[in-house]
Amino acid sequence: MPKWTLEEARTVIESTGNHRWYPEHLREKIASARIAAFLYRQRNKRKLSARSVGNKKAERATNKALIAANRRIAQLARRIILRAKRGAGLKPVHDCHPTLLLARRKDSIFLDGILPQRRTKWVPLAARLKTQRTAKLMVEDFSFLRNPAGTMQKLRAIAEAEQDCLSAQIDFVDTTCADIGPWLVLAMMRSHLAPIFTGGAISNQMSKVLDALRLKDQLRFSVTPSWEGERDIWAFPLHMRRAAGTSTSPTVQIDPQAKEKAGDALCAAINTWLSECADQELTTHGRRLVKKITGECLDNAEQHSRREFENDGDWMLTGFMEKVRGADGHRFRCQLAFLSVGSSISETVQDCAPETLDAMNKYVAAHKPTMPNHRSADGHLRTIFALQDMVTRDRHAYAEGRGGTGFRDIICFFWDLAGGEGDATLSVVSGRTCLTIDNTFRDLVFPLPSETFNIWFNDTNDHTRPPDHAMVQGKRLKVIEQFA
The DSSP line for 250-272 is TTTTTSPPHHHHHHHHHHHHHHH
The total of other beta-carbon atoms located within 10 Å of residue 393's CB is 20
pLDDT of residue 93: 46
pLDDT of residue 13: 56
- How far is CA 66 from each of CA 4, 61, 73, 440, rounded to the nearest angstrom? 22, 9, 10, 85
Cα distance between residue 114 and residue 138, in whole Å: 19
Sequence-ordered list of residues with C-beta below 8 angstroms from that of 208, at least 6 positions apart, any chain: 225, 227, 232, 233
Cα distance between residue 444 and residue 468, in whole Å: 14
For the CA atoms of 348, 148, 216, 102, the dihedral, rounded to the nearest 10 degrees, stands at: 70
Of 294, 335, 341, the closest CA to residue 209 belongs to 335
Written as tens digits, the pLDDT of the chain (484 aa) is 455 565 666 665 555 555 555 666 676 777 777 777 877 777 777 766 555 445 677 777 777 788 888 888 888 888 887 777 766 555 444 455 555 667 788 888 889 888 989 999 998 887 887 778 889 999 999 999 888 889 999 999 999 999 999 889 999 999 999 999 999 999 999 989 988 888 889 999 999 999 999 998 889 888 888 888 888 899 999 998 876 655 554 445 544 567 788 889 999 999 999 898 888 888 998 888 888 888 878 887 777 777 666 667 788 999 999 988 777 778 888 999 999 888 888 888 888 888 989 999 999 999 988 887 677 888 889 989 988 888 888 777 777 777 677 788 788 778 777 766 667 888 888 888 888 887 777 766 666 767 778 888 888 888 898 887 645 443 333 333 333 2
Q: Is 58 helix (H, G, I), strand (E, B) or coil?
A: helix
Angle between helices 258-278 and 284-304 (to 10 degrees): 140
pLDDT of residue 20: 53
pLDDT of residue 406: 78
Chain centroid to CA 473: 25
Q: How many helices (H) and strands (E) does the chain have?
A: 20, 8
CA angle 301, 304, 307 (to 5 degrees): 120
Cα distance between residue 295 and residue 39, in whole Å: 72
Q: Please report, as a single letter, which amino acid is at residue 169.
A: Q
Of 244, 239, 245, the closest CA to residue 259 belongs to 239
Q: Burial of 23 by CB count in 10 Å (0-12 exposed, 13-18 middle, 19+ buried)?
A: exposed
